[in-house]
Amino acid sequence: MTALTREETQALIQEVLEVYPEKAKKDREKHLAVNDQSIEQSKKCITSNRKSLPGVMTIRGCAYAGSKGVVWGPIKDMIHISHGPVGCGQYSRAGRRNYYVGTTGVNTFGTMNFTSDFQEKDIVFGGDKKLAKLIGEIETLFPLNKGISVQSECPIGLIGDDIEAVSKKAAKEINKPVVPVRCEGFRGVSQSLGHHIANDAIRDWVLSNRDGKEFPSTPYDVTIIGDYNIGGDAWATRTILEDMGLRVIAQWSGDGTIAEMENTPKAKLNLLHCYRSMNYISRHMEEKYGIPYMEYNFFGPTKIEASIREIAAFFDDTIKANAEKVIAKYKPIMQGIIDKYKPRLQGKRVMLYVGGLRPRHIIGAYEDLGMEVVGTGYEFGHGDDYDRTIKEMGNATLLYDDVTGFEFEEFVKKVKPDLVGSGIKEKFIFQKMGIPFRQMHSWDYSGPYHGYDGFAIFARDMDMTLNNPCWSKMTAPWLKKEEPVAEKAAA
């Protein structure tokens, strides 16, 4: 199927909207758009960061998911208490594959679940005592933890527990940071507000802990911010930066520690990968400590090269020379990968629907493989994300914000992409429809996809999925034979 024209795409949106009741249709209309590169501001064509419509199937998470699952969870040497009923923590436990180095249960706690397991009596009489007791127990059982964070679940906000007071008292007793995070799930419209709340908690409780303390710094200190080390992403990124001669003093928050976070204000430059979830803290550090931040993109060799040069521009000539060396070193390797996979993937069309950064960042990597992204959208992106997306996407491609299960299915049926990249909730629907699918949240249990090392794996995975022989076997053999007969009967 050839690319849709602007009118066809517009007609497709209208067709999909047709099934909604009048009010819902009016609301959803604002979230669907045809991309137009000439538009400077996304708000002229698409509305984002609004409450999902009741009754539709949204793919969003909650503020707790944004704070515990994304920002705080990967900090490996802290214990993150899911404060409230047991389910929120247990069902989200270790699902995000934030890799880390350490001995789980001894000095790192990334895949473990700690919860205060609220019961009826805790709701009635308050859970502050239980929390204090829990922190004491943690300290006895896991003495090598470097700090504790209290991630509130919905009931905490509803019954008005004072977790700040408990945390302050406990911090004095155990002489470690205890951070209360007010990330009750009902706050905000999606996990995006959870990121903001988590960033604010880091700002208020962690970031200034080592102000004024000595730190042996070099002029080449940088930090990786907003890389959650999914399948080892942050490590692939770190390799490149270290090859350039930079010293990475902190990783936020994949494979990160609280000590690294406390040392971040000593950096010379903050490198920001996931803009949506960590821009808040980067802005704060720019204002308070005068550390500039830079958004970079380590998906696909073209974008990596551009980002490496942009990073090097902040430093002196040695780094700039190193940057060129790194680019030259990887160029033939990357060319080899492109030569191998591009003929197999050329011209394939992709539809994406991911969280807050990948819908635009990963476009370059697909283009390097000769593939085309024909539709993209964010679960919880804001206006500034769409501002940045419009330029990356081709004209007359589809943009969909907080797409509903129904809309996404209909779009895929009509646009007929060769590959869909989204999350686990969408995976089996599309696979059963016979469309190759990759999970773009967890890299489908593969990875890393960041950096030069990641691109090799990315290219292999895309080829493996798209050119899998199973897609030609979607109809059972006995059904295939019947097809011409059925057609004859119909005729």
Partner 1 sequence: MANIMIRRDNKGNYQFYLPKRDLEDTIVSMEFDTAEKWGGEIKLNNGGTYYIEPQVAPARLPYSVRARRLDAAE
Assess 287 for contact with partner 1 (CB under 8 A): yes
Q: By CB under 8 A, is residue 296 in contact with partner 1?
A: no
Per annotation, catalytic residue among 28, 31, 33, 62? 62
- Of 313, 272, 438, 426, the closest CA to residue 369 belongs to 438
Among positions 129-148, residues that touch partner 1 (CB under 8 A) are none
Residue 385 C-beta: closest distance to partner 1, Å: 10
CA–centroid distance for 443 within its chain: 11
Name which of 386 and 400 has its Cβ closer to partner 1: 386
Site membership for partner 1, residue 367 (CB under 8 A)? no
Is residue 307 near partner 1 by the rule CB under 8 A? Answer: no
| C-beta closer to partner 1: residue 41 or 119 | 41
Residue of 33, 65, 88, 234 marked catalytic = 65
Residue 216 near partner 1 by CB under 8 A: no
- Closer residue to partner 1, CB minimum distance, 212 or 290: 290
Marked catalytic residue, from 96, 276, 438, 441: 96
Q: Could you tell me the smallest distance in angstroms from the CB atom of residue 20 to partner 1?
A: 23
8-state DSSP, 213: S
At residue 124, what is the residue type? V
96 catalytic? Reply is: yes
Contact status, residue 150 vs residue 81, Cβ threshold 8 Å: yes
Given the rule CB under 8 A, which of 92-100, 105-113, 174-182, 285-293 is the region that contacts partner 1? 285-293
How far CA 393 is from CA of 45, 269, 304, in Å, comes to 14, 29, 18
- Residue 427's identity, in one-letter code, is K
In whole angstroms, what is the distance from residue 179 CA to residue 166 CA?
10
Distance CA 17, CA 135 (A): 51
In whole angstroms, how close is the CB of 59 to partner 1 at the nearest point? Answer: 20
Q: Least Å distance between CB 287 and partner 1?
A: 4
Number of residues that bind partner 1 (CB under 8 A): 14
Does 27 sit near partner 1 (CB under 8 A)?
A: no
Cβ contact 8:14 at 8 Å: no
Residue-wise DSSP of 402-421: S--HHHHHHHHHHH--SEEE
> In the bound complex, what is the minimum distance in angstroms from residue 382's beta carbon to partner 1?
5
Catalytic residue among 195, 276, 284, 450: 195
End-to-end Cα, the chain, rounded Å = 26
Amino acid sitting at position 316: D
Q: What long-range pairs does 281-286 form, CB within 8 A, spacing at least 24? A: 281/199, 281/202, 281/203, 281/207, 281/225, 281/252, 282/225, 284/199, 284/203, 284/207, 285/207
In whole angstroms, how close is the CB of 384 to partner 1 at the nearest point?
Answer: 5
Torsional class of 112: left (φ above 0), alpha (ψ -120 to 50), beta (otherwise)? beta
User: Does residue number 382 form part of the binding site for partner 1 (CB under 8 A)?
Assistant: yes
Tokens for 59, please give them: 């793919």
Q: Which of 27, 164, 243, 384 binds partner 1 (CB under 8 A)?
A: 384
Using CB under 8 A as the binding rule, whether residue 283 contacts partner 1 is answered as yes
**Contact region with partner 1 (CB under 8 A), list: 65-73, 239-247, 278-286, 466-474:** 278-286
At 368, which amino acid appears? Answer: D
Tell which one of 21, 54, 290, 332 touches partner 1 (CB under 8 A): 290
How far, in Å, CA of 206 to CA of 226, rounded? 17
Helices (H), 92-205: 120-125, 128-141, 154-159, 163-174, 191-205
Q: Judged by CB, which is closer to partner 1: 242, or 310?
A: 310
Structure tokens, 270? 């903050």
31 to 70: interface string for partner 1, x by CB under 8 A: ---------xx-x-----x---------------------
Give dist(CA 385, CA 206) in Å, integer. 27
Pick from 268, 278, 272, 226: nearest CA to 247: 268
Select the residue interacting with partner 1 from 99, 114, 235, 280 (CB under 8 A). Answer: 280
Only one of the segments 27-35, 64-72, 125-133, 282-290 lies at the binding site for partner 1 (rule: CB under 8 A); that segment is 282-290
Angle between helices 163-174 and 128-141 (to 10 degrees): 30
Here's the x/- map for partner 1, 193-212, by CB under 8 A: it reads as ---x----------------
- The label of the residue with tokens 């990121």 reads 195
User: Does the annotation count 62 as an active-site position?
Assistant: yes
Minimum distance of partner 1 from residue 200's CB (angstroms)? 9
**What are the residues binding partner 1 (CB under 8 A)?**
40-41, 43, 49, 192, 196, 280, 283, 286-287, 290, 382-384
Q: Which residues are catalytic?
A: 62, 65, 96, 195
